[in-house]
Chains A and B, each alone.
Chain A
Amino acid sequence: MRLLRSNLGKLRRRPASWVTLLLLVGLLALIILLVTVASRSASDPEAKLAGTLFLTFPGAYELILSMVMGIGGLLAVTYGAAIAGSEWGWGTLKAAVARGESRIAFTLLNYASVAIYTWIGIVLAFLAGLLISMLGATISGIGLNGLGDRDALLRLPELFGRAGLAMAMNAALGFAIATVARSQLAGIGVGIGVFFAEGIAGVFAPDLIKWFPFAASSAVFTGGSSLGGGGGGAGGGGGFGASLDPQTAIVVVAAWLVASLAVAAIWTERAEISG
């Protein structure tokens, strides 16, 4: 537990944690703002309606969380890669191993702290998005009556659980890539590359790509619902009509999560550490 506590303390002080959160909140605010402004000036009634979705509760709850996932998926990959890669690049893994620390414990507890901060990031970004939407609704003269909708509020924990699993898997993927690459920059670069490559490949082979990590993670949350576009982001087939059903997606995402962590842990355990 002292190592996990120490890791959490380290990440709290790490600029990358705050920069990632601010980037997520900033992008979320920008998208909500742009959609709202664009829809108000649109002549098409459907476009106008789409713009109010972010401002109309209880539907906005799910939409905001979907947006957090869509943007946050890529950020989670880069965050996981940055944390794992820096332990190699800065030599801090070497120092810990030379003190007799278990390589596997060090790796998994390091990831655990990343996952915890990822979950905290989801909650904080969601709350920020909520405030922005409420502000937008007030300015636009849209009522906030739906805020207290009991059914929507009761569904939130399940949605957060699904989003948390998907984001944790995304972070684990970046974490594993950077561990294998032994570099945060290489990990971030490859993670981003895989993210977009999967999205592009999803156009041509959606039935195959839907099993891939980013496509599956978007399906965990949206599962082909009407909100699929927001949750899918750039990742895979979620937005192309060939996504997994949510329950299957949960299993697939969990498998990717476990596989990523296993790769990171085994790789670290067997690696020759130098530099």
Chain B
Amino acid sequence: MSESADGVALATQGLAKRYGPRVALDGLDLRVPTGVVYGFLGPNGAGKTTTMRILTGLIRPDAGRVEVLGRPFGRGDRRRLFEVGALIESPSFYPFLSGRENLRALAATGAPTSRSRVDELLSLVNLQDRAGDKVSGYSLGMKQRLGIAGALLSDPRLLLLDEPANGLDPAGIAGMRDTLRALAAAGKTVFVSSHILWEVQQLADVVGIVAQGRLVREGPIEDLLRAEGTVRVRVAPDQVPTAGPALEAVAGAGAVTVEHGPEAGWLDVRIDPERAAELNRSLAGAGVYASRIEVGTTLEALFLELTGTSPDLGGAAGSAASGGAAPDGPRWQA
């Protein structure tokens, strides 16, 4: 079986799901190209995990269509999942078994998997030294790494990861990013659900942003950020009161947003990036000299704008993925 002729590894159309009176998905349309890392973004409760559950056959949609690896996926198509690896929500293990035994138990389900694959993956996620220890003694990050190894067991062509960076330390996140990038480079498709934006921005080729169960934006990440037409200007914090009006004189009233806190001194200007030089000239005319000018926007700014959410204390640390299921791919650092 191969992906569809137009190179789409995963697609949904009009996907809908309700839990009682609560609408989880409200006509979700996704289109995930083959061979990319796709960042599936949305605030808490936006429908990301519900989508993941539908894509892995754990729950059934109320309406809509799903295509997995080029063919319709629904009831009775469980064997399609032999080519899909998934980590949905928190990793699931038998606490009384070791990491190696857990992977072997998982390998006994679904697609046939060789015993050697288990040790290859334990090595890949840098758990080979703890593979004989009971999972009940693992840290959250170790369980997460073991969960990702479990998702890679059948060398899947499509990998679905729900918040894979949960609990990983910085080295673990970097290792995972390398692994997932290597997978995409090898032609596999990686679908990563996350609400941790800076990590997705480093990892993903394409993003889809959902809010209230609907897709609000989808496309290559660079195109989306460029299209938003933002220029970020850095000046000395005490010059912000002067710089703001100078920038508004070019971009128009209300087009300038002043950053506060650790980002103090940054001003975001909504304007065609091609006009960045005009902004610089206007600043110089007001006696202000920019120390940095950046074109484009951040994924976080785009996300907050599209989802209508506001910055949340404590909601910031990163997520996402990277990787290489190939046994000779990059190894994660301890």
Indicate, yes or no, whether A interacts with B. yes
A contact residues vs B (CB 8 Å cutoff): 2-3, 5-7, 9-10, 13-15, 86, 90-92, 94-102, 106, 272-275
CB A107 to nearest CB in B, in angstroms, measures 12
| B78 in contact with A100 (CB, 8 Å) | yes
Q: Which of A6, A95, A99, A100 contacts B104 (CB 8 A)?
A: A6
| A101 in contact with B89 (CB, 8 Å) | no
- B82 interface contact, C-beta 8 A: yes
The distance in angstroms between the C-alpha atoms of A207 and B314, with both chains bound, is 64
The distance in angstroms between the C-alpha atoms of A113 and B43, with both chains bound, is 42
Q: Which of A2, A13, A15, A97 contacts B108 (CB 8 A)?
A: A2
- B111 interface contact, C-beta 8 A: yes
The distance in angstroms between the C-alpha atoms of A99 and B84, with both chains bound, is 7
| A94 in contact with B97 (CB, 8 Å) | no
| B88 in contact with A90 (CB, 8 Å) | no
The distance in angstroms between the C-alpha atoms of A96 and B109, with both chains bound, is 6
Of the listed residues A6, A15, A98, the one surrounded by the most CB atoms of chain B closer than 10 A to its CB is A98
Interface residues of B in 40-95 (CB under 8 A from A): 53, 56-60, 78-82, 84, 86, 88-95
The distance in angstroms between the C-alpha atoms of A100 and B84, with both chains bound, is 9
The distance in angstroms between the C-alpha atoms of A14 and B102, with both chains bound, is 12
Task: Please give me the residue from chain A that is nearest to B57 by CB atom.
Answer: A97
CB B114 to nearest CB in A, in angstroms, measures 12
Residues of A within 8 A of B101 (CB): 9-10, 13
- B236 interface contact, C-beta 8 A: no
The distance in angstroms between the C-alpha atoms of A97 and B88, with both chains bound, is 11
Contact with A along B87-125 (1 / 0, CB 8 A): 011111111110001001110111110000000000000
CB A242 to nearest CB in B, in angstroms, measures 43
CB A274 to nearest CB in B, in angstroms, measures 6
| B106 in contact with A273 (CB, 8 Å) | no
- B154 interface contact, C-beta 8 A: yes
Interface residues of B in 123-160 (CB under 8 A from A): 150, 153-154
CB A149 to nearest CB in B, in angstroms, measures 43
The distance in angstroms between the C-alpha atoms of A7 and B104, with both chains bound, is 11
Residues of A within 8 A of B82 (CB): 99-100
CB A80 to nearest CB in B, in angstroms, measures 17
The distance in angstroms between the C-alpha atoms of A58 and B112, with both chains bound, is 51
Interface of B is mostly: loop
The distance in angstroms between the C-alpha atoms of A97 and B52, with both chains bound, is 13
| A96 in contact with B110 (CB, 8 Å) | yes
The distance in angstroms between the C-alpha atoms of A92 and B154, with both chains bound, is 17
Q: Which of B57, B91, B93, B97 contacts A13 (CB 8 A)?
A: B97
Closest 4 CB pairs of A and B: A99-B110, A91-B92, A100-B81, A6-B108
Interface residues of B in 157-196 (CB under 8 A from A): none
Known: A10-B97, A96-B110. 15 other contacts (CB 8 A): A2-B112, A6-B104, A13-B101, A92-B93, A94-B88, A95-B106, A97-B56, A97-B57, A98-B81, A98-B84, A98-B88, A99-B81, A100-B109, A273-B58, A275-B89
Give 10 A-B contacts (CB < 8 Å), ordered by A residue. Answer: A9-B101, A13-B101, A14-B96, A91-B89, A92-B94, A98-B81, A100-B57, A100-B81, A102-B78, A272-B59
| B81 in contact with A91 (CB, 8 Å) | no
| A97 in contact with B58 (CB, 8 Å) | yes
| A98 in contact with B58 (CB, 8 Å) | yes
CB B44 to nearest CB in A, in angstroms, measures 15
CB B104 to nearest CB in A, in angstroms, measures 7
Residues of A within 8 A of B97 (CB): 10, 13
The distance in angstroms between the C-alpha atoms of A86 and B95, with both chains bound, is 10
| B79 in contact with A100 (CB, 8 Å) | yes
CB B92 to nearest CB in A, in angstroms, measures 3
Q: Which of A5, A13, A95 contacts B150 (CB 8 A)?
A: A95
Of the listed residues B88, B109, B153, the one surrounded by the most CB atoms of chain A closer than 10 A to its CB is B109
The distance in angstroms between the C-alpha atoms of A11 and B27, with both chains bound, is 43
CB A185 to nearest CB in B, in angstroms, measures 15
| A99 in contact with B106 (CB, 8 Å) | yes
The verdict on A273 contacting B109 (CB below 8 Å), with A10-B94, A100-B82 known, is no
Task: Please give me the residue from chain A that is nearest to B106 by CB atom.
Answer: A95
The distance in angstroms between the C-alpha atoms of A52 and B302, with both chains bound, is 84
| A5 in contact with B94 (CB, 8 Å) | no
The distance in angstroms between the C-alpha atoms of A93 and B153, with both chains bound, is 16
| A273 in contact with B110 (CB, 8 Å) | no
CB A8 to nearest CB in B, in angstroms, measures 11
CB A120 to nearest CB in B, in angstroms, measures 18
| A15 in contact with B58 (CB, 8 Å) | no
CB A150 to nearest CB in B, in angstroms, measures 44
Task: Please give me the residue from chain B that is nearest to A275 by CB atom.
Answer: B89
| B96 in contact with A90 (CB, 8 Å) | no
The distance in angstroms between the C-alpha atoms of A100 and B95, with both chains bound, is 22
